[in-house]
Amino acid sequence: MSELGPTGRLRDGARTVAPLAVAVGIFGVTFGVLARDAGLGRVASIVFSATTFAGSAQFAAAGVLSAGGTLAAAIVAALLLNTRYLPIGLSVAPALTGSRLRRLVKAQLVVDESWAVGHVGGGRYDGRLLVGAGLTLWSGWVVGTTVGVLGGEALGDPERLGLDAAFPALFLALLVGQVENRRGLVAAVAGALIALVLVPLVPPGVPIIVASVACLIGLRRAAT
C-alpha cells in the first residue's frame, strides 16, 4: 500500500469499502422507505442523508418519530448517538490535512466503516484511505436513500415486509461490535433496563435519552 501514490491510496480506500458501499446502499434504501413512513418527506430525507451521513442516528430519529415520539426526543436521540464522532474526530485529526474548510469537509466523511478502513495501525490513520472510503460510502448512502424515498411506494407496507424488525436486529449487530469490555456490557444492559422500565411511564423517545445516563459508569475508575 505504501508503494502507491496519493491517488492510489484514495482509490485503495474506495476499493476496500466497495462491497460495504453496496450494503450501505441497501441500508440507504431501507432508510428512505422508513423516513417516508415517519413522515419526513422526500427532499428532507435525502438532504438528511447527504448532510448528517450517520446511519444509526438517522434510523434512531426516524424510529422515534414513527413510534409517535416528539421532535425534540428525535433530535436529542440522534445527536446523542453521534457524540461518538467527537472522540473519533479527535483520533483522525492528525491525518486530515489542508485548509480549515478542507479539514471540515474531510471530517464529514468519517463514519464507523471509513474510520476502520483508514486505520493503519497503532492509532494512526491514513487521511487518503479514509477519504476514499468515506466518499464511496457516502455515495452509496445517498443514492440508496433516494431510491428508497422514490421507490418506497412500490415496496408497500414496511411492517408486512418485517422491516420494523430489521431495526432492533441492526442495533443488536452494531451493539455486538461496540461492546469491547465488561464495562461496555454493563452500560448496555443498564441502558436497556432503564429504557424498558420507562416505556410505560414517559412518552416515546424519552426512555432512550434517559437511558444514556448509564454511560456515566465510565466515570468510575477503570479498575473493574
**Which residues from 54-83 bind other proteins, rule CB under 8 A?**
54, 56-58, 60-61, 63, 65, 67-68, 71, 74-75, 77-83
Binders of other proteins among residues 194 to 223 (CB under 8 A) are 194-196, 199-204, 207-208, 211-212, 214-219, 222
CA distance linking residue 91 with residue 125, whole number of Å: 8
Binders of other proteins among residues 3 to 32 (CB under 8 A) are 23, 26
Secondary element (H or E) of residue 114: helix 112-118
139 binds other proteins (CB under 8 A): no
What is the DSSP track for 103-156?
HHHHHHT--HHHHHHHEEETTEE-HHHHHHHHHHHHHHHHHHHHHHHHHHHHH-
Query: Is residue 119 classed as helix, strand or coil in its secondary structure?
Result: strand
CB 88 within 8 A of CB 97: no
Q: How do 119-121 and 124-125 pair as beta strands?
A: antiparallel
Question: Closer to other proteins at the Cβ: 119 or 183?
Answer: 183
179 binds other proteins (CB under 8 A): yes
Task: Name the residue with cell 453521534.
Answer: 82
User: Measured from the CB of residue 147, what is the shortest distance to other proteins in angstroms?
Assistant: 16
* Segment contacting other proteins by CB under 8 A, of 1-9, 89-97, 137-145, 146-154: 89-97
Which of 156, 116, 110, 154 is closest to 135 using CA atoms? Answer: 110
Which positions from 159 to 178 touch other proteins by CB under 8 A, shown as an x/- string? xxxxxxxxxxxxxxxxxx-x
85 binds other proteins (CB under 8 A): yes
Binders of other proteins among residues 27 to 46 (CB under 8 A) are 39-41, 44-45
